[in-house]
Each structure stands twice: as structure tokens, then as C-alpha cells.
Copies of this chain bind each other. A is one copy, B any other.
Amino acid sequence: MEEYKRLKRELVAKGVIIDYYQDTMLIPNGNVAKWDLIDHKGAAAVVAVRKDGRLLMVRQYRNALERETLEIPAGGLNGREEPTDRAAMRELEEETGYTCDHVELLTSIYTTVAFCNEKIDIYVARDLKPGHQHLDEDEYLNVEAYSLEELKQMVFECKIQDAKTICAIMTYAAKYEGKLSDY
């Protein structure tokens, strides 16, 4: 593979949950180009499986899409150093009220590699204990539960379009479907 070299990184603007940089890159053909970089601290998400086999989902308004979406519980890290399994358990509890003693890594994704370094570690949580939702001050969401088959169908029909949620549902189905008799 040809070598790219970053000559310079300049902060363009500091945002609320992202920062925007422009990188000056030396391209293998000798050209110099400006590339965008959106810096994000990373996030954690969780496929939370109830004892009846249904998965917990959250429905919330997304300003970027100007509509509601159906997603797995997730949230940004409190700093890059926060362990993502802890963050996944915290977000599960905050958004759904359910708690669990541990989670298991399902997969780890980069949401949009062409211009952003956001990484989301996606976990599986089982043996859930119900409790009380305690959302952030500016957060409003509804908790719902669906079977894996219903969720897959919603992906096929483009009714679920959030990338982390599709990665999570489809990877979980490929790994565990047909092996769920205990749940």
C-alpha cells in the first residue's frame, strides 16, 4: 500500500460532542490535500436481551434526521479513558432502568471512517434486573422491546436505519440466533 503522510493538523472548531480538524495530507502521488477529521471521544452500546428473548430498544428524537429513530441503548464515553463495558452498563441503566452485573463484547465499530474517528464498542447484556430509568436532563426517550425476528425484518424494510443498531442486531443474530433456548 502506498504511504500517506500527515503534514499538519489544525483545529477548525471545538464543538459540544465533536471537534472539527483539517489535516494537510501528502498523497502518495506527491499532491497535497486538505482532509476533514471529526474527532469524537467514542461511545458504548448494548444489545440487552430480556429473559423472554426480546431486545430492549429506545425510541428518541434525532435532530440530524429531524425524526425519531429506534436504536439500541447507547451513549458517549465520559472521556476517552472510560472503560467501554462500564459505559455500556451505565447507559443501559440510565436509558432503560435495567441493570446487569457484566456485559460481553459483541463487536466494535467505527461509524464513518472517511472523516470521523468515532468508535463504538457494542456489548451484549443478559440476566437483566428491572429498575428505574434516570435520563440526562435534556434526554427524552421511550423504551420498547422486540423479538430478534421483528428487528431483522425492520432492518430489511429500512425501518431501522441507525448503523450501530444494524451492526448490533445483525451481528448478534448471526452469532446467537438458534442458540437462544436459555433466554
Residues of A within 8 A of B (CB): 1-2, 4, 6, 12-13, 15-18, 20, 22-23, 25, 27-29, 31, 33-38, 40, 43, 59-65, 68-69, 71, 76, 107-119, 137-138, 140, 142, 152, 155-156, 158, 161-164, 166-167, 170-171, 173-175
Please report the C-alpha to C-alpha distance between residue A162 and residue B119 in the assembled complex, in whole angstroms: 9
Nearest B residue to A36, CB-CB = B15
B1/A117 in contact, CB under 8 A: no
Which residue of chain B has the shortest Cβ distance to A34 in the bound complex?
B16
Checking B38, B76, B107 against A166 with a beta-carbon cut-off of 8 angstroms, the contacting residue is: B107
Copies of this protein, total: 2
A106 — nearest CB in chain B belongs to which residue?
B156
Interface residue from B37, B43, B69, B170 paired with A64 (Cβ < 8 Å): B37
